[in-house]
């Protein structure tokens, strides 16, 4: 059974049960009230008839007539009759049909001690029949129903049936509307999931339920966020696959050409093998960086971090890159603000953070002219450590500057330089994993400054090794 059918059936059952309980309660109350009123009226009637019989026995016909006359305006007196002999009227000239009189006389004969019908005789032997109209009715009559439709010429029970049917129809209609209101967004959500499962990742459904403000509309919003993230993730994967295939094609073609040269010129085998080894090394580097980038982009797991002394860490970076810089006649220098304590620590993954800074410093070495200095300066503000890596290279065109952190993007100034186009993309992802950011800006008269902004470690924070 579908959800809509279950909801509709549940509401129908609730409505029917509610109507049944209400009707039964109304019937029970009506019967109880009618029974109480019947008993009270019958008690008054029998008391009145007893008084009339007593007056008759003491004062005769005149005594009975006086009592009835005194109670004439009471609705109870209209139910007590006194028939003299074979008259068809009672002593107050109220007409009674002969059939009722005969039945009352027969009942009195068979039940001489009944307080509802009695036969008495005056002093002259004249027979008088005393009875309460409706003496043979032992059950209370139901009270008049309040569920009446003015102007409808039908019995009251039909009025009740019409009103009850109207209530049931309206209740079922409301149940249908309410069930549809609940099931509609669920159907929309199901259709959206089917479309996403079929590859339509641009599917969005929140605009279809924007007239609601409940848990189901919030669920639709969460679905849209999920679909958007999936679309971005798949787009990244496609983008990565496209560039990987493009980047792999060139070294594979060169290796294939080298193998052909080795076969054609075996006497130069050693020379060609060195070139082949270089291409293999380049491919190995490319694959390693691709795997790292993919892991950083798609993994939901945070890097494992621990306390890291910032100044010794930067000192090791400078020392490791100094030998490379010296080959080009360059210098890598570290400048530290005097207000920064020597035991300054940050919360970081040392190997990944080392890789991020190393990528930037090596780029600075590659693009700076001979005899220049690559300056690493560390400063601070109230909440962050600010580390600048500044070179004296040609810089980057201002139009291209916002794109240099995109994977495989290479600015015009790097066209003739070796590299995979992944270094800065990796650096940005690593810094973001450390809750920081990296900014690139040109400086005058020439050069590029890469600014790392890392949050300060909170006082008293413990070593963090999380995988959440």
Per-chain mean pLDDT for the chain: 81
Together in a domain, 251 and 114? no
Together in a domain, 164 and 274? yes
Average pLDDT over residues 413-430: 72
Per-residue confidence (pLDDT) for residue 134, from 0 to 100: 81
- How much of the chain exceeds pLDDT 90, in percent? 12
61 touches 74 (CB < 8 A): no
Q: How far apart are CA 334 and CA 325, in angstroms?
A: 14
Q: How far apart are CA 131 and CA 104, in angstroms?
A: 7
Average pLDDT over residues 420-443: 87
Quick one: pLDDT band at residue 451, thresholds 50, 70, 90? Answer: very high
Average pLDDT over residues 278-284: 80
Q: How far apart are CA 117 and CA 104, in angstroms?
A: 7
In a domain, 99, yes or no: yes
Together in a domain, 154 and 240? yes
Domain hosting residue 192, numbered range: 146-301
pLDDT digits (tens, 9 = 90+) for 325-341: 888 889 999 998 878 88
Residue 42, both tokens: 């019958």
Average pLDDT over residues 32-40: 83
Per-residue confidence (pLDDT) for residue 155, from 0 to 100: 62
CATH of the domain at 416: 3.30.565.10
Quick one: pLDDT band at residue 463, thresholds 50, 70, 90? Answer: very low
Quick one: pLDDT band at residue 459, thresholds 50, 70, 90? Answer: very low
pLDDT over threshold 90, residue 287: no
Together in a domain, 282 and 164? yes
Long-range contacts of 114-123 (CB under 8 A, 24+ apart): 115/46, 115/49, 115/50, 116/46, 116/49, 118/49, 118/53, 120/53, 120/56, 120/57, 122/56, 122/60, 122/61, 123/60
Together in a domain, 284 and 231? yes
Class of residue 458 by CB neighbours under 10 A (exposed 0-12, middle 13-18, buried 19+): exposed
Per-residue confidence (pLDDT) for residue 3, from 0 to 100: 63
Quick one: pLDDT band at residue 466, thresholds 50, 70, 90? Answer: very low
pTM for this prediction: 0.51
Together in a domain, 318 and 296? no
In a domain, 287, yes or no: yes
Together in a domain, 188 and 114? no
Q: In the listed set 81, 106, 132, which residue is the last one of a domain according to the structure? A: 132
Together in a domain, 315 and 291? no
Together in a domain, 182 and 327? no
In a domain, 139, yes or no: no
Per-residue confidence (pLDDT) for residue 338, from 0 to 100: 77
102 touches 119 (CB < 8 A): no
Q: What is the dihedral of CA 63, 69, 71, 75, to 10 degrees?
A: 130
In a domain, 461, yes or no: no
Quick one: pLDDT band at residue 418, thresholds 50, 70, 90? Answer: low
In a domain, 162, yes or no: yes
In a domain, 373, yes or no: yes
Of residues 164 and 383, more confidence is placed in 383
In a domain, 141, yes or no: no
Q: In the listed set 241, 275, 301, which residue is the last one of a domain according to the structure? A: 301
pLDDT digits (tens, 9 = 90+) for 201-234: 888 888 887 777 777 788 888 888 998 888 887 8
- Tell me the HSE value of 408 on the side-chain side, using a 13 A CA sphere: 14
Per-residue confidence (pLDDT) for residue 460, from 0 to 100: 43
In a domain, 334, yes or no: yes
Average pLDDT over residues 162-172: 78
pLDDT digits (tens, 9 = 90+) for 46-94: 888 888 889 888 888 888 888 888 887 777 777 888 888 887 788 888 8
Together in a domain, 165 and 247? yes
Kindly give the residue spans of alpha helices, DSSP state H, lying in 148-268: 156-197, 215-264
Together in a domain, 126 and 155? no
Q: Report the side by side order of strands in the sheet with 80-84.
A: 80-84, 127-132, 117-121
The strand pairing partners of 386, in sequence order, are 379, 453
Quick one: pLDDT band at residue 467, thresholds 50, 70, 90? Answer: very low
The strand pairing partners of 84, in sequence order, are 128
Together in a domain, 237 and 381? no
Number of domains in the chain: 3
Q: In the listed set 132, 158, 189, which residue is the last one of a domain according to the structure? A: 132
Quick one: pLDDT band at residue 437, thresholds 50, 70, 90? Answer: very high
Per-residue confidence (pLDDT) for residue 436, from 0 to 100: 93
Q: How far apart are CA 364 and CA 21, in angstroms?
A: 85
Of residues 46 and 2, more confidence is placed in 46
Per-residue confidence (pLDDT) for residue 385, from 0 to 100: 92
Per-residue confidence (pLDDT) for residue 144, from 0 to 100: 55
pLDDT digits (tens, 9 = 90+) for 225-254: 998 888 887 887 777 676 667 667 767 887
């Amino acid at each position: 059974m579908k959800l809509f059918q279950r909801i509709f059936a549940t509401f129908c059952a609730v409505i029917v049960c509610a109507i049944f309980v209400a009707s039964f309660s109304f019937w029970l109350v009506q019967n109880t009230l009618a029974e109480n009123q019947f008993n009270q009226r019958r008690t008054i009637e029998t008391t009145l008839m007893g008084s009339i019989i007593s007056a008759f026995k003491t004062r005769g016909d005149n005594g009975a007539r006086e009592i009835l006359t005194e109670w004439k305006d009471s609705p109870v007196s209209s139910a007590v009759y006194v028939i003299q002999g074979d008259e068809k009227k009672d002593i107050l000239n109220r007409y009674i049909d002969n059939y009722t009189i005969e039945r009352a006389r027969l009942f009195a004969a068979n039940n001489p001690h009944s307080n509802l019908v009695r036969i008495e005789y005056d002093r002259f032997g004249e027979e008088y029949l005393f009875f309460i109209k409706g003496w043979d009715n032992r059950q209370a009559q139901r009270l008049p129903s309040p569920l009446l439709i003015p102007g409808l010429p039908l019995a009251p029970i039909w009025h009740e049936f019409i009103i009850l049917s109207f209530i049931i129809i309206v209740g079922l209609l409301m149940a249908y509307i309410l069930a549809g209101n609940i099931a509609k967004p669920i159907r929309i959500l199901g259709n959206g999931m089917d479309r996403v499962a079929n590859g339509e990742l641009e599917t969005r459904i929140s605009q279809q339920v924007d007239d609601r403000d409940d848990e189901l509309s919030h669920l639709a919003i969460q679905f849209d966020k999920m679909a958007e993230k999936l679309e971005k993730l798949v787009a990244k994967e496609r983008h990565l696959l496209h560039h990987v295939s493009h980047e792999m094609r060139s070294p594979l073609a060169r290796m294939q050409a080298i193998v052909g040269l080795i076969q054609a010129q075996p006497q130069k085998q050693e020379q060609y093998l060195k070139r082949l080894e270089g291409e293999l090394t380049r491919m190995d580097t490319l694959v390693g960086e691709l795997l790292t980038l993919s892991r950083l982009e798609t993994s939901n797991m945070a890097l494992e971090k621990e306390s890291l002394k910032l100044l010794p860490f930067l000192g090791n970076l400078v020392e490791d890159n100094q030998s490379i810089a010296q080959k080009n006649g360059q210098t890598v220098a570290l400048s530290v603000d005097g207000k920064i304590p020597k035991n300054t620590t940050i919360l970081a993954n040392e190997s990944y953070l080392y890789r991020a800074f190393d990528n930037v410093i090596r780029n600075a070495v590659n693009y700076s002219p001979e005899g220049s200095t690559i300056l690493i300066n560390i400063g601070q503000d109230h909440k962050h450590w600010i580390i600048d890596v500044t070179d004296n290279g040609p810089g980057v065109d201002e139009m291209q500057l916002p794109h240099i952190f995109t994977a495989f993007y290479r600015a015009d100034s790097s066209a003739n330089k070796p590299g995979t186009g992944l270094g800065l993309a990796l650096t940005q992802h690593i810094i973001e994993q450390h809750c920081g950011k990296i900014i690139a800006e040109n400086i005058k008269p020439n050069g590029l400054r890469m600014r790392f902004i890392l949050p300060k470690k909170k006082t008293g924070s413990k070593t963090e090794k999380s995988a959440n």
